[in-house]
Structure 1
Amino acid sequence: MACAITGMLMAGMASTAYAAPTHDKNVIGYITQWEAWKGPNAGFSVKGEATHLNVDMDIYSILNFSFFGVAKDGSLHSGDLRNKSIYQPNAVQEPGPLLHPDVYSSWDFDILWGELEYVHQYPGNEAWEADSLRKIQEQGFVKSGSGWLHVPTGVQGQFPIPLKKAGGAPGLIDLAHQKGVKVMASLGGWSMSKHFPEMAADPVKKARFLADIDKVMSLGFDGIDIDWEYPGFGGMNFAGSPEDYANFELLMEDIRERIGPNKLLTAAFSASTAKLEGYDWNRLVASMDSFNMMTYDLNGGWSNVAGHNAPLYPYPEEEYQGLNLDTLRTWMAQKGIPSNKINFGAAFYGRGVQTSEATAYVGAPTEKRTVNFGVDGPTLSSADLDNWKEFEGQPNYNYILQTGGWEHKWDAAAEVPYAVKGKYFLSYDDVPSIEKKAQYIVDNDLGGVIVWQVHGDIKCEGTFISHGTKLKECTKLSSPLAEAIDRVFSAGTVPNAAPVLSVPTAQVVDSGQTVSFSVSATDTDGDALSFTATNATVVDNGNGSATVTYQAVNTATDTQVIVTVSVSDGRKSVIKDVVVNVKGSGVVENVPPVLTTPASVTVDSGKTVVISVSAQDADGDTLAYSSSVGTVAVTATGADITVTAPITQVDTTIDVLVTVNDGQASDVATVIVNVKAESGTGGDTTWNADAIYNTGDTVLFGGVKYTAQWWTKGDQPGSSSAWVEFNDGTTGEWKADKAYTAGDQTTFNGVTYKAKWWTKGDQPGNAGGPWEQV
């Protein structure tokens, strides 16, 4: 089924050459899932312009989809499910789906999967539903509860089902791969980093995080970018600790082991050298591909004087010495960090502040007041909301170009522009300053540049083509800052010729069998060539040729599958399609799937454990997993079953029945979960309605400690005579809702009383009552 879909989506692209950048520098652009909501009031022509369809992919080598967040249990969630009150004390991020399940309130599916068509309920077996059912099944969707499950990725959602539209605009990953651009998943960001430290320090939470890394990679990403702001120093509503540095380094190694050596692993780092001293850089160099240094946001509304957002060099008026690109590069060189692994930041936006001077200038004192920001909440800031309210003081470059009334100047020391209008100061980058930074990167043999964010400089100079209700594609796009970077990086480079790929004519194979064929390629530049293929395996023969092998699925009827072969010289790639005609057998004899599970797992009382299972199916059928206990999440290799153990006073076991089904047959296995009793049985555990307690056991309930008077199960402390509030030997004030036994003492209105028998609610001092004055 997946083969058929791939062939359908790739149809019409049988032999196409795509021009990756002609230079060898990284141009990494961050593309967000929220910018697409913005329209003309934010500098764009139409709402839906700021998507992957309007990115010049001949300029970028990598795009970072931003962001997935980290929840309190270590799991990952869609950035659109961010807790908007996370800045408040004690606020936490609850777990959530990896992609926002509501197609109407999020752009997750539109950006990642492309132009969509919707099916509003799961089809039945009626003839008129056959076409919808076929599309749903071909794309790997199955019914799951009251919603749906996309089996290839494990993504779940609510109705409607978002189908990729045949012949429609591709999603971010498909489009980027067609053009030789890699796409990474970026995790964290300023407002979603709160739970990084505790996750990295907790093996259980980290295991859950790494399991979700598998799910992210199953979406088709080429790697992981970590944006933990900031190890050792903390960020929005959380503190850092010295242990963060080693935990970060170990986390990078764990992710590398999880994704393998051929995927990319990067991270965003502060540009402040004070926040970088705690790292073991040699250790990071061994596990990571590059370091993305955020050489922007160096001054803003928090600053005491007006300074530059992203200065290239030091300047006399800077509030804090060393917050510039040149100082950071020198420091990193002294640390022995390989220059080709360093990418410096390019800001496609500016930062505006208000000063206390009648006419603003570099170094002018800022004028702060409490500002209620959309992300940071109430904050003391000098951000300029009079001129840049829509951007909360951070206007995109394309909007700055549209705004008049400013006097634009150049700082020859910092080598960046700025603008003033009365008391207002604006720091930003323009084409000349971006060219200087790009040349600096070339001159110092650095890895490249990171761009925050790719839609900050775009301008549509043509018309728009609508792809469905959301996506808008500009017929003539201008990206002046990105184009400036490309001009500098490409200057003096030798033009690259695309390789020439040869593939055979259509192949024929019987149902369930394999077919192999040879492909070859030549390159006039003599570059090393690498081959890949979709829906098939590839063995490089080392002589400019490769052997491609396709395993046909079992099918009763004749069907046609497209195997897409690609060859790359590292700078340009060529793809061609090979048609494979699969001859149906007439009768499909289903081979049941084979389930692989651990025999047992161990978990502490009240904790959660993840059981990873997998299955093989000789027919290549789509597999569905279920479990008698816990929740099931599909992974790239099978499924993860999360089981929460009961709170128990004695060791116990749980039988978890796991089932895998290929639509016709099932395989079943039992996993024994060994639950270890809480340490200190009979100690201060939280009361559990399902637990058995004996005389003298103590529990906590509602913040109060209770003691069991006899064997009990299900009797709620405070509401049953089976429990009495724990007597620690001190005399406390009398409580009407507390049970007292003979000999207990209490004080009431300053007088001490002793209970003559068991009592609850009887006020001391009443004649004939259970209390006697001491």
Structure 2
Amino acid sequence: MNKGFNRSKVAGVVAAMLMAGVAGMAHAAPTHDKQVIGYLTQWEAWKGPNEGFSVKGEATHLNIDMDIYSILNFSFFGVAKDGSLHSGDLRNKNIYQPDVQQEPGPLLHPDVYSSWDFHILWGELEYIHQYPVDEPWNAEQLKKVRDQGFVPHAGGWLHEPTGITGQFPIPLKKAGGAPGLIDLAHQKGVKVMASLGGWSMSKHFPEMAADPVKKARFLADIDKLMALGFDGIDIDWEFPGSGGMNFPGNPTDFADFEQLMEDIRERIGPNKLLTAAFSAAPSKLEGYNWQRLVASMDYFNMMTYDLNGGWSNVAGHNSPLYGYPEEEFAEFNLDYLRNWMAAKGVPANKINFGAAFYGRGVQTTEATAYVGAPTDKRTVNFSVDGPTLSAVDLDNWKLFEGQPNYNYIMKQPGWEHKWDANAQVPYAVKGKYFLSYDDVQAIEKKAQYIVDNQLGGVIVWQAHGDIECKGSFISHGPKLKECTQLSSPLAEAIDRVFSAGTVPNAAPVLTVPAAQNANASQVISFVVSATDADADPLTFSVANATVVDHGDGTATVTYQAPNTASDVQDVVTVTVSDGRKQVAKDIVVNVKGSGDVGNTVPELTAPATAMVAGGQQVVISVSADDADGDALTYTASSGTVTATTAGADITFTAPVVTADTNVDLVVTVSDGQATASATVVVTVTADTVPVWDTNQVYVGGDVVVYNGVKYKAKWWTRGEQPDSSDVWQQI
């Protein structure tokens, strides 16, 4: 049947076609020493024109510019309930439900028709539908199968070099066909990591890391991954200490994680790579012994994206470089995290920051969306997270569940694109819809920030988010498509900055005067100056004063002292920036009091808002300080006032309402001579919000009332008191 079939000739033609594709996406090899780490997923290859790609099968290893990336992370392998690893394509899709577990499964999905595992890892395949018999007429096929290490096993096959098993057909690497991920990467000098876990497959990490028997199974599967040819292991346990999808965190997770890293290091040896993905929220990082991790790990991959999204109460940026006035949480930006990690003594060259090749869209309550606009939440049934309260924008980004790739965003009309000069990222609005994403300019600024601060490099989620085929496609079998002219604008921007910016930027040198003296209420001025070795233009800013920038490296700071009877010490903070780095210094101001000991008005402290369901009671606690030590009395425009050791409690009984209603409750404190007042806006809700239950499981978006105050869960939680845990956000 195959008489006259010239295999050598066909192999030569395929090789020539492959080289033509490589030539079409030629790119200068990087000249820098930064790490560019791209995540490559199993599932992205299924996406086609509806999701921004030209054809299904475009998002594979054949369409990644490997002259840009230094490491590729194949994502993900999951952790099963017995500690073993399994293909990400075998993820239990009900894992978000209570008490659901992940059963063990094959390391690579055995069905070549319903999974991309073998097509990506082994390349173009030749299907062998049954094990060849040992007969002369079948000798050639039997030799090919044996040469690649396949033997019969349990009604299917066993790949002896790796220990991988599967069902028929045998996924034989096609002679002369397109190479798999690991082979192609190694030809280009790129390393390939096996990435384990991810948001939806980390549930069993804590129990595995704490159980020697389960950990032994885990480490045995690490051996199989290394036998497949991976250059190292990347752990994506989301998140030690704080928990993730449908599982709680434990304080012991941090030490278990550190021990797991040491166990993996011992298993894979000193010459293989060991990395992990970490949260970008400092509150989730406090429990680590960073110096212990530094000793066993090569890189810390910080997920500096997903900092805002459908769970947020206001429209914010997905991956801001710097803080901005409208942000919900001040620590959620790259600059804050870098400074935090530096204070922890983490070596800068082991830190890789995240680059988001996708955006996050939300809907707001406003007719025209803006940064800081209140988000509009409702229950959404996500394919991964299940039913969740979210403001995700499904009207514009339904196929992406609110997370469109950059290459898809750029093709959508009707959006007004803007730039946030504070956060140094773009965003887009269309009516009530808000979209945060990174473009070429934002990616360049992040890359330059990494150069300037001598960080290790960048991680990209995910590597196919920005690709666009500007040529034609070569088919390698029924699934793999290779573009002859590939464009990757965001990846190219990273490479361009890293290659040109190998000399770090020098920080400005700021000079400020010694401590200043002022009388109560006096206005004083002083001059500050700065120089910059790179001759960059400088700008000044101050806190607790005003500044006039003269544009020549000097500025005049004007400060008004407080009207105080006693001597006090105040601080003015001056900051200078060269556009890439900034330096701040404090100037102490010694303020001489006036000596006037007349009566001082008491200072009242009261909450700005409170919430209570209609017909229910809420207790509002207030307090006050009086510099003269006078006795204080409290009154309120409504409710019952009870004195306490700290101040007073106002017990307010809310009326029954048919719609949410705001009631202004005015609280007044008096020292007998002067009074101070504050207004507490009490929101009386018509809906019934459940009272927090210490035994109840809550997920992100759930709303409860605790001590008369409404709180919203940011992620999965149980037993964490709303007024004292970061998992809860007060509304």
**Which residue number corresponds to residue 99 of structure 2?**
90
1:388 aligns with 2:359: no
Q: How far has the Cα of 1:273 moved from its partner?
A: 0.2
Shift of 1:493: 5.6
**What residue number does 2:196 align with?**
187
Counterpart amino acid of residue 255 in structure 2: A
Distance in 2 between residues matched to 1:210 and 1:134, nearest whole Å: 33
Out of 310, 317, 342, the position equivalent to 2:351 is 342
* Superposition map of 1:103-182 within 5 A: 103-182=112-191
1:588-627 mapped onto 2 (5 Å cutoff): none
Q: 2 CA distance for matches of 1:20 and 1:336?
A: 33
Shift of the 474–18 alpha-carbon distance from structure 1 to 2, 3 Å rule, reads closer
Amino acid at match of 2:254: Y
1:254 match: 263
Give the equivalent residue in structure 1 for 2:670. none
Identity of aligned residues (%): 83
Residue 291 in 1 paired to residue 300 in 2? Answer: yes
Q: Does 1:358 align with 2:364?
A: no
Contact conserved, 1:20 with 1:180, CA < 8 A, in 2? no
Q: 1:390 to 1:345 in 2, by over 3 A?
A: same
Separation in structure 1 between the aligned mates of residue 417 and residue 69 of structure 2, nearest angstrom = 29
Query: Which of 353, 359, 371 does residue 380 from structure 2 map onto?
Result: 371
Counting only pairs closer than 5 Å after superposition, residues 107-506 of structure 1 correspond to structure 2 as 107-491=116-500
Check the 8 A contact 1:18/1:180 in 2, yes or no.
Answer: no
Partner of 1:765: none
> Pick from 38, 43, 67: which aligns with 1:29?
38
Secondary structure in structure 2 of the residue aligned to 1:268 = strand
1:38 paired with 2:47, answer: yes
C-alpha separation in 1, matches of 2:15 and 2:116: 26
CA deviation string 1:407-429 (max 9, x = no partner): 00000000000000000000000
Equivalent-residue separation in structure 2 for 1:18 and 1:157 (angstroms): 38
The separation in 1 between residues aligned to 2:484 and 2:491, in whole angstroms, is: 18
Task: Indicate the SS of the match to 2:235.
Answer: strand
Q: Which residue of 1 aligns with 2:532?
A: none
Matches within 5 A, 1:515-530: none
Q: Take 2:131 and 2:73, find their aligned partners in 1: how far apart are those partners?
A: 33
Provide TM-score, normalisation by structure 2.
0.65
Distance 1:160 1:239, change over 3 A: same
Contact 2:451 2:501 in 1 (8 A): no
Task: Give the 3 Å change call, closer, same or farther, for CA 174–322 of structure 1 in structure 2.
Answer: same
Shift of 1:449: 0.2
Q: Unaligned stretches of 5+ in structure 2? A: 1-7, 504-731
SS of match in other structure, 2:373: coil
Separation in structure 1 between the aligned mates of residue 91 and residue 98 of structure 2, nearest angstrom: 16
8 Å contact from structure 1 (residues 249, 284) kept in 2: yes
User: 1:57 maps to what in 2?
Assistant: 66
SS in 1 for 2:493: helix
- Which position in structure 1 is the counterpart of 2:697? none
Shift of 1:178: 0.1
Amino acid at match of 2:235: I
Q: Tell me how far 1:378 sits from its aligned partner.
A: 0.6
- The residue type paired with residue 224 of structure 2 is K
Question: Is residue 448–residue 501 contact of structure 2 (8 Å, CA) maintained in 1?
Answer: no
Alpha-carbon shift at residue 21 of structure 1 (Å): 2.2
**TM-score, normalization by structure 1:** 0.62
In structure 2, what is the equivalent of residue 599 of structure 1? none
Tell me by how many angstroms 1:157 deviates.
0.5
Task: Sort the Cα spacing of 1:220 and 1:419 in 2 relative to 1 into closer, same or farther, 3 A.
Answer: same
TM-fit CA distance, 1:130: 1.3
Offset at residue 320 of structure 1 (A): 1.1
Deviations 1:179-210 (A, max 9, x none): 00000000000000000000000010001101
Deviations 1:103-136 (A, max 9, x none): 0000000000000011101111222211111110
SS in 1 for 2:481: strand
Cα 1:319–1:18 change in 2 (3 A) is: closer
CA separation in 2, counterparts of 1:459 and 1:398?
A: 7
* Partner deviation per Cα, 1:537-571 (whole Å, 9 max, x = no partner): xxxxxxxxxxxxxxxxxxxxxxxxxxxxxxxxxxx
Indicate conservation of the 8 Å contact 2:451/2:502, yes or no. Answer: no
Give 3-state SS (helix, strand or coil) of 2:454's partner: coil
Question: Aligned-pair distance for 1:19?
Answer: 6.5
Distance in structure 2 (CA, Å) of the matches to 1:132 and 1:378 = 51
Contact 2:193-2:231 at 8 Å conserved across structures: yes
Tell me the equivalent position of 1:757.
Answer: none
1:72 matched to 2:81? The reply is: yes
Task: Indicate conservation of the 8 Å contact 2:27/2:65, yes or no.
Answer: no
Q: Deviations over 1:590-626 (max 9, x none)?
A: xxxxxxxxxxxxxxxxxxxxxxxxxxxxxxxxxxxxx
Deviations 1:137-176 (A, max 9, x none): 0100000021000100111100000100000000000000
The 3-state SS of whatever aligns with 2:216 is helix
Contact residue 461 and residue 477 of structure 1 kept, 8 A: yes
Distance 1:18 1:471 in 2: 22
Residue pair 1:20, 1:179 contacting (<8 A) in 2 also: no
Report the secondary structure of 1:490's partner residue.
helix
1:18 offset after TM fit, Å?
Answer: 10
Structure 1's consecutive aligned runs of 4 or more residues displaced over 4 angstroms after TM superposition are: 8-14, 16-20
- Which deviations, in whole Å up to 9, do the C-alpha atoms of 1:696-739 show, x marking residues without a partner? xxxxxxxxxxxxxxxxxxxxxxxxxxxxxxxxxxxxxxxxxxxx
Matched residue pairs, number?
487
Native 8 Å contact 1:18 1:178 kept in 2: no
Shift of 1:22: 1.5
Question: How far off its partner does 1:11 sit?
Answer: 9.5
- List gaps (5 residues or longer) in structure 1: 495-774
